[in-house]
């Protein structure tokens, strides 16, 4: 991850699939250095990621997803994408009011 490592929080153990997903976001990080990425492996076939950035301000959920998905999907194989089960995209102001974020912070066991 190099220079962007400080903006990334990995909960639990990292693995090659998580690392590929995180590495795919480096271009986003370069364009939006204020952003933050958090990720963890929920179970053996599921990675959850949360991206918080002011860059999402004024964008609806579909536009945010399409923007980030285009970045990710061109950089990782389909079998890696298959492990990404949750991708949350928030502005800093939205995080505290999101029920989805509550599940990200305090996941229910699978």
Beta bridge partners, 88, equal 50
On whether the CB atoms of residues 38 and 49 are closer than 8 A, the answer is yes
The residues with which 10 forms a beta bridge, in sequence order, are 39
pLDDT of 6: 42
Residue 93 scores a pLDDT above 90: yes
Place of tokens 């959850």: 48
CATH class of 2-105: alpha beta
Residue spans per domain, the chain: 2-105
Note whether 45 and 92 are within 8 A (CB): no
Answer yes or no: is pLDDT of 2 > 50.
no
**pLDDT computed for residue 83 by the predictor:** 96
């Amino acid at each position: 991850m190099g220079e962007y490592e400080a903006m990334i929080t990995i909960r639990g153990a990292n693995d090659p699939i998580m690392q590929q997903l995180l590495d795919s976001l480096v271009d986003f990080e370069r364009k939006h250095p204020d952003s933050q990425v958090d990720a963890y492996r929920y179970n053996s076939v599921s990675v959850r990621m949360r991206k918080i950035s002011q860059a999402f301000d004024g964008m609806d959920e579909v536009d945010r997803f399409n923007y980030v998905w285009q970045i990710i999907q061109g950089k990782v194989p389909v079998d890696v994408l298959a492990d990404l089960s949750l991708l949350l995209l928030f502005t800093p102001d939205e995080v505290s009011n999101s029920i989805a974020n509550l599940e990200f912070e305090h996941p229910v066991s699978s």
